[in-house]
Homo-oligomer: A and B are copies of this chain.
Amino acid sequence: MPVDATYLRTIEHWRVRFESVGVPGSSIDSVVTNLDDWSDWPQLWKQLGDKEVAYAVDQEERGHDITASAGWYRAGLYYHYGLFVLFDNEPVRSQLVDAKLAAFSNAFRGMHPGVEQVTLESAAGVLHANVRRPDTSEPPPVVIILPGADSSKEEYVGFEDLLLDRGLATISVDGPGQGETRHRGVGWRFDYETAFPAVIDFVRSSDELRTDGIGLIGFSFGGYLAPRVAALCPEIIATVSLGGCFDLSGWDDLPPLLKADLMYLFEIPDEEEVRRRATDEVTLRDSLPGVRGDLLAVHSTADRIFSHQNARAMKELKPTTEVVIYEGGDHCCHNRSHHAKPMMADWLADHLG
């Protein structure tokens, strides 16, 4: 499929997101410049990743551990974003995911505070998660972080840093169907939340985390998943939904690439079936009234993925919901992240501290 204007618009949309987690603008430029056909996308990112791995290995040999860690992290991001339009070639996809996970694992070795990679036995199967703790004398409160339809737990290192700076520990989780958890065999379920009592159990059994009052934040489609998890787990006292949806009743109007993401996430290749199930089963109608803790719904007026009306819909069903809408903000407020991210981190710290 040749690169057309719609897709270039998509890439420009992604640019802010990619840059906000550490992809250099010059790397995005090099992919865009060399992109003749959409099918080149994974390979172009893989080339960047391979080059960055060689750089990281070289830096490690020179004893430059901090520099090497940053290189490994960029390599992981390159491989990860190479997956973004790759739905129909599982062998290539699997190879990229392996490279991505290896790169991120290497990156984590050199990060401060450190990243502990854990597996959690849940009702849905084994979850993969990253745990980080701030340098505090008392056991810190913890925030659970949920990715969206195309993201995975490793993308949140920068946001984790904001929470860690504010004295909060973090657990970024690939839930059923997401990232490493799916890669290792645990697929999506519409009752995604059933996996999360295992995460709560992990917190409660830890001597190094405060067990009363857990926080939760979900990004993008994770902003839909978060209230479902909060409704099932009463230990969660503060939940942030960023750029999420209330339901998928507007399926027909979703951007084509998001539909492809969701079809891949749900593992439903049939267009009529996915439309029906997404419309029927993706909704906060039954969950929101069960959310006992505080809820903050953050959205943007210029979100082209999910309208900010989704945040209003949450407030309608749960009137205590705090709604913050960024004027001119894009999906997940990436172009307002200098204000939106600290705001959410402070909100969580204020509620859990």
> What are 16 A-to-B residue pairs whose CB atoms are below 8 Å?
A19-B25, A24-B336, A24-B338, A25-B335, A26-B328, A26-B335, A59-B346, A62-B346, A64-B342, A66-B166, A67-B342, A67-B343, A67-B345, A70-B338, A70-B342, A74-B338
8 nearest A-B residue pairs (beta carbon):
A67-B342, A64-B346, A26-B335, A24-B338, A66-B165, A67-B346, A70-B342, A66-B166
Query: Which residue on chain B has the smallest CB distance to residue A330?
Result: B26
For the residues of A in contact with B, the DSSP-based class is helix
Complex partner residue of A55 from B165, B339, B345, B346, CB under 8 angstroms: B339
Contact with B along A18-30 (1 / 0, CB 8 A): 0100101110000
Task: Give chain A interface residues in 300-353, CB to chain B under 8 Å.
Answer: 328, 335-339, 342-343, 345-346
Measured between beta carbons, the chain B residues less than 8 angstroms from A335 are 24-26
**A165, A337, A338 — which one has the most chain B CB atoms within 10 A of its CB?**
A338
| Distance A165 CA – B68 CA, assembled complex (angstroms) | 13
| Distance A4 CA – B24 CA, assembled complex (angstroms) | 28
Tell yes or no: A11 within 8 A of B by CB. no
For this complex, into which size category does the number of interface residues on chain A fall?
20 to 34
Interface residues of A (CB under 8 A from B): 16, 19, 22, 24-26, 55, 59, 62, 64, 66-67, 70, 74, 165-166, 328, 335-339, 342-343, 345-346
Measured between beta carbons, the chain B residues less than 8 angstroms from A343 are 67
Measured between beta carbons, the chain B residues less than 8 angstroms from A16 are 25
Measured between beta carbons, the chain B residues less than 8 angstroms from A67 are 342-343, 345-346
Measured between beta carbons, the chain B residues less than 8 angstroms from A24 are 335-338
Distance (whole angstroms) from the CB of A304 to the closest CB of chain B: 16
| Distance A67 CA – B64 CA, assembled complex (angstroms) | 31
| Distance A335 CA – B25 CA, assembled complex (angstroms) | 7
Query: Which residue on chain B has the smallest CB distance to residue A74?
Result: B338
Apart from the given pairs A24-B335, A70-B342, 19 other A-B contacts in the complex at a CB distance below 8 Å? A16-B25, A19-B19, A19-B25, A24-B336, A24-B337, A24-B338, A26-B335, A26-B336, A59-B342, A59-B346, A62-B346, A64-B346, A66-B165, A66-B342, A67-B342, A67-B343, A67-B345, A70-B338, A74-B338
Query: Which residue on chain B has the smallest CB distance to residue A68?
Result: B342
Query: Which residue on chain B has the smallest CB distance to residue A55?
Result: B339
Measured between beta carbons, the chain B residues less than 8 angstroms from A55 are 339
| Distance A39 CA – B19 CA, assembled complex (angstroms) | 31
**A19, A59, A165, A346 — which one has the most chain B CB atoms within 10 A of its CB?**
A346
Measured between beta carbons, the chain B residues less than 8 angstroms from A338 are 22, 24, 70, 74
Measured between beta carbons, the chain B residues less than 8 angstroms from A74 are 338
